[in-house]
Amino acid sequence: MSNAAPTRGASKSDSPGRLAWRAFRHRRSARLATAVLVVVGGLALLAPLLPLAAPSAVHLDAKLRGPTFTAIEGAAFDAAEIKDPGRLTGWLLSARVAVFGSWELPPLFGTDALGRCLLSRILWGARLSLMVGLVASIISLIIGVGWGAVAGYAGGRTDAVLMRAVDVLYALPLMFIVIFVVALLRGFRNAHPELDVNPSLVLFAVIGATSWLTMARIVRGQVTSLRSAAFIDAARACGARPTTILWRHVLPNVSPVVLVTLTLTVPRVMLFEAFLSFLGLGVEAPDVSWGVLARQGFDALTAVHASLWLIAFPGLAFALTLLAMNVVGDALRDALDPRLRGERS
């Protein structure tokens, strides 16, 4: 909140943003967690550039190998294994082929039931899992902030109607409706293969469209209390239009809270993706996500033959990333707005 900046030790150059940044940087756990996220994000982004096996390359003679430094005999990277990469991915892949040729890392994390390299699948899966988290959160951000800001700024009857709608949606089993919709859409796609809808896109949209409620409530609360602030009155007196006031004056003041809520939405969404993937309703083959990998690792657990690495590595990747996100979110919240502490849902 820019109008409630702490004054202790503040000099002229101490903007609220800088103070918050300093408080954030001061925490060792926050620095560490940020570093983890940067590394995970970087690895995910640059996965095509690394000398990894193709995530879908099957080696039936190397099934369920434990983590090892010895390469699979006769394994060679073939860029054609990766089905329709985007432009950036294609470019990275050709760079990888130019540098490393067809050489690939041995399965450092072991191989799965079809002899596919787990390390490669985890790094390629990170791309999709992080993407789900980001895209769905951004969708929820747009809807939630729009909804909450309009309700809070308009007030009166509009506010009552909009927030009542949020209350009703809150009380619905949204997760169940998502599962229901995803299951039904799957049937729709099977019946119309010619439409070529990307299943992941549907997943992003459906999850995003159902996770904006908390954001709307929080933004609405903030905007309601800002609405009567003197500087808003001043802007109104100058003849600024409501859209200008919202965009230029209200939203920048809400942004810290929005940022915090967003950081805490991403891990929630990623967990939900893992749920859906476990139920077989998430990302579809040949795409991989961490949820899919954890599911396959779980399936590999039997009393007779336990391929522990298949659940341990995806589980660790998942836990580490989500933990880092939660730590960063908490640190941001404490840095930006101490009053928000303890509020989460």
Partner 1 sequence: MTPALRGLVVLAGFVVVPAILFWLGGRAERSHGRLLSFACRRIAWLGWTALVVFTLSFFLMRAVPGGPFDDERRMAPQVKRNLEARFGLDRPVAEQYLAALGGLPSLDFGPCMTLRDFTVREIIAQGLPPSMLLGLAALAWMLLIGVPVGVLAATRRGSTLDVTLTALASLGMAVPNFVLAGALMMPLVFWSGWLPAAGLTTVDAVLLPSFCLGAPFAAQVARLVRTGLLEVLTQDWVRTARAKGLSERRVVLGHALRGAMLPVVTFLGPALAGILTGSLVIEQVFAIPGVGTHFVQSALNRDYTLSLGMVMLYTVLVYGLNAVADLIHGLLDPRVSLS
**Rounded-to-integer distance, Cα 301 and Cα 80, Å:** 32
Cβ-based nearer residue to partner 1, 63 or 189:
189
CB of 34 to partner 1, least distance (A): 15
Shortest distance (Å) from residue 112 CB to partner 1: 15
Q: CA-to-CA distance for 266 and 195, rounded, in angstroms? A: 30
* Tally of helices (H runs) and strands (E runs) in the chain: 13, 0
Q: Which is nearer to partner 1, 183 or 234 (CB)?
A: 183
Question: What gap in Å lies between CA 183 and CA 203, rounded to an integer?
Answer: 11
CB of 293 to partner 1, least distance (A): 10
Identity of the residue, 180 or 247, whose beta carbon is nearer to partner 1 in the bound complex: 180
Cβ 315 to partner 1 shortest distance, Å: 4
Nearest residue (CB) to partner 1, 249 versus 344: 344
CB of 8 to partner 1, least distance (A): 18
Query: Which residues would be at the binding site for partner 1 (CB under 8 A)?
Result: 168, 170-173, 175-177, 179-181, 183-188, 190-192, 267, 271, 274-275, 278-279, 281, 291, 294-295, 297-298, 301, 303, 306, 308, 311, 314-315, 318-323, 325-327, 330, 341-345
Nearer to partner 1, 165 or 229 (CB): 165
DSSP at 66: P
**Least distance to partner 1, CB of residue 341, Å:** 6
| 85 in Cβ contact with 48 (< 8 Å) | yes
Cα–Cα distance, 189 to 140 (Å, whole number)? 25
Instruction: In angstroms, give the least distance from the CB of 153 to partner 1.
Output: 22
Q: Show Cβ contacts of residue 127 under 8 Å, excluding neighbours closer than 6 positions.
A: 44, 45, 47
3-state DSSP helix/strand/coil % of the chain, to nearest 5:
70, 0, 30
Burial of 307 (0-12, 13-18, 19+ CB in 10 A): buried
- C-alpha 182/C-alpha 298 separation (Å) is 22
Task: Count the Cβ atoms, other than its own, within 10 Å of residue 275.
Answer: 15
